[in-house]
């Protein structure tokens, strides 16, 4: 996996996630709105990290290509009515969103690794 691709994905995801969190903060479910507001305090730093690297790589062809490749998927993170706002923020045009609808094989690998202890010691408490 190309590192520029990782940064592009992170940057686009954080921008989309900000729009989603803003919407959740305005939810009429007080518990959900409270959780979203709390998450957002931490997200500030995640966005900062992504934006810092995106700014450094902005003119790199590998980064530009990765952004173009991932852009339809970034749109797919959000509801249709939220997509224009994402396009405005990242300075791209709205295209047809791609929603994968299924996880990539990497998730199974990650899941196996992250649940290894629980599976090897059933009922473990810590």
Partner 1 sequence: MTVDQVWAALEEIPDPEIPVISLVDLGVIRDVAIDGDRVHIDFTPTFLGCPALEVMKRALEDKVTELGGEPDVAVIQDDSWSTDRITPAGREKLREAGFAPPAPRAAGATTLVQLQSKAFRCPYCGSRETKLENIFGPTPCRSIRWCESCRQPFEQFKTI
* Residue 31 within binding range of partner 1, rule CB under 8 A: yes
Interface with partner 1 in residues 36-75 (CB under 8 A) = 37-42, 44-45, 48-49, 51-52
Nearer to partner 1, 17 or 75 (CB): 17
33 phi and psi, to 5 degrees? Answer: -60, -40
Q: How far is the CB of 2 from partner 1 (least distance, A)?
A: 22
* Structure-token match 């790589």, residue found: 57
Q: CA 89 to CA 23: how far, in whole Å?
A: 16
> Would you say 41 or 119 has its CB closer to partner 1?
41
Q: Which of 35, 87, 90, 97 binds partner 1 (CB under 8 A)?
A: 35
112 — phi, psi (to 5°)? -60, -45
Nearer to partner 1, 52 or 84 (CB): 52
Residues in contact with partner 1, counted by CB under 8 A, come to a total of: 15
Indicate whether 85 belongs to the interface with partner 1 (CB under 8 A).
no
Is residue 41 within 8 Å of 99, Cβ to Cβ? no
CB 97 within 8 A of CB 75: yes
């Amino acid at each position: 996996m190309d590192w520029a691709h990782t940064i592009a994905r992170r940057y686009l995801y954080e921008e989309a996630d900000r729009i989603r969190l803003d919407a959740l903060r305005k939810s009429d479910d007080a518990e959900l709105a409270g959780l979203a507001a709390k998450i957002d305090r931490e997200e500030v730093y995640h966005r900062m990290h992504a934006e810092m690297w995106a700014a450094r790589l902005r003119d790199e062809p590998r980064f530009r290509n990765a952004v173009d490749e991932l852009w339809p998927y970034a749109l797919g993170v959000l509801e249709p009515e939220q997509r224009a706002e994402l396009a405005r923020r990242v300075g791209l045009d709205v295209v047809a969103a791609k929603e994968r609808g299924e996880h990539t094989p990497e998730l199974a690998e990650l899941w196996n690794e992250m649940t290894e202890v629980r599976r090897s010691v059933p009922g473990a408490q810590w």
